[in-house]
């Protein structure tokens, strides 16, 4: 049976990652793969309920982090792991890297605590560290926060993260850069380019990894 493939799309709000997930899905379907498309926080009914709370309600940073990881646990067990076991390509709009970037770097929450939660939650049905679920490829849409803010301005009613000042997104962007520095699975996409050129970069990264 074809092995499952887990790909995540990461980046600050306004980086344009969500606008390319349709094309990614179409690319893999054209190659005969079954695709499971999902997002975080979210992906299950319970996780979507928690998403609404996380994106809209004011709360302590620990509470926020716990809710994000609670949603992720349900998502991993009910959606991601079963899809990978079936041999699907799983395309996920954000995963745990976003938590380290937003709650960790953005909010200033303890990275050590986040790492512990990551081990607990992404161990699937096992708590052994060697079974930690991580993407095979993370497409990181890197965009200067000032440009992202200009893209978001007036687009729609912002959630509590999108409404944050540029300084917050500067910290988040650095959080992503720090996370990428220690993880070969990251593929940086220069998102400060026209849409067609961004897609060309994505296709190139997939070819480099033997995934397209």
Annotated binding site for ATP: 11-18
Q: Read out DSSP for 132-185?
A: ----SEEEEEE--HHHHHHHHTTTS---TTTTS-HHHHHHHHHHHHHHHHT-TT
Asked if 145 contacts 166 with a C-beta cutoff of 8 angstroms, the reply is: yes
CA distances in angstroms from 83 to 38, 77, 107, 156, listed in the order given? 11, 10, 32, 33
Known binding-site positions? 11-18
In the structure encoding, which two tokens stand for residue 139, read together? 């497409």
- Residues facing 139 on adjacent strands: 9, 187
> Phi and psi (nearest 5°) for 141?
-85, 100
């Amino acid at each position: 049976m074809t092995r499952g493939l887990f790909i995540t799309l990461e980046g600050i709000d306004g980086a344009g990652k969500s606008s390319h997930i349709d094309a990614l899905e179409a690319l893999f379907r054209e190659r005969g793969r079954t695709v499971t498309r999902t997002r975080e926080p979210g992906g299950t009914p319970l996780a979507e309920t928690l998403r609404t709370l996380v994106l809209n309600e004011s709360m302590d940073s620990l509470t926020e982090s716990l809710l994000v990881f609670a949603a992720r646990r349900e998502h991993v067990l009910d959606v991601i792991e079963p899809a990978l076991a079936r041999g699907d390509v799983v395309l996920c709009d954000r995963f745990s890297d976003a938590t380290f970037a937003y709650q960790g770097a953005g909010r200033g929450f303890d990275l050590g605590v986040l790492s512990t939660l990551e081990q607990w939650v992404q161990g699937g049905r096992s708590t052994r560290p060697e079974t930690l679920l991580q993407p095979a490829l993370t497409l990181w849409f890197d965009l200067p926060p000032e440009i992202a803010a200009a893209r978001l301005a007036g687009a729609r009613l912002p959630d509590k993260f999108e409404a944050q000042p540029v300084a917050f997104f500067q910290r988040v962007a650095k959080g992503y850069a720090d996370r990428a520095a220690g993880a070969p699975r990251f593929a940086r996409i220069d998102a400060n380019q026209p849409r067609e050129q961004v897609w060309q970069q994505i296709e190139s990264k997939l070819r480099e990894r033997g995934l397209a």
